[in-house]
A = this chain, B = another copy of it.
């Protein structure tokens, strides 16, 4: 069981940085389609995807957005963070077996515990997949939580 430890507003400093990594598999394509309702065949059907400009199945763009939100909520600032806003610019498609790294960097501390974070998603070739900026309200109280263990999810 993993432990989630936050960084409070007082502890956070400009240029603090953290990363979060995930690899795209068929499982993410199916689960993201189910949870969002985006059943576009470019994500789900390899034969259809071959006929598109991408030539193969690609991830839902907002899957990268979900990784950014996960990084903010579990790593920096971590538990207790309130998500206020996000700007996203989608730059490159994500393909099966691509490994994405979210890099969060603190750009600015504002009043009322608000923090502006640079949110960059790169692939295994170091290319920018998504660039963006998050605004969060950082926690004021230190927290150290056991991450819940998810139930088994079976597909098909």
Contacts and interface: CB of A to CB of B under 8 A. Distances in A.
A57 to B, nearest CB: 11
Interface residues of A, number: 53
A85 B86 contact: no
B153 A67 contact: no
A97 interface: no
Contact of A66 (B28, B62, B152): B62
B90 A85 contact: yes
A37 B148 contact: no
B147 A41 contact: yes
Nearest to A70: B38
Nearest to A156: B151
Interface string A19-62: 01010000010111111111111101100100000000000111
Interface of A: 2, 4, 20, 22, 28, 30-42, 44-45, 48, 60-63, 65-70, 73-74, 79, 83-90, 145-148, 150-156
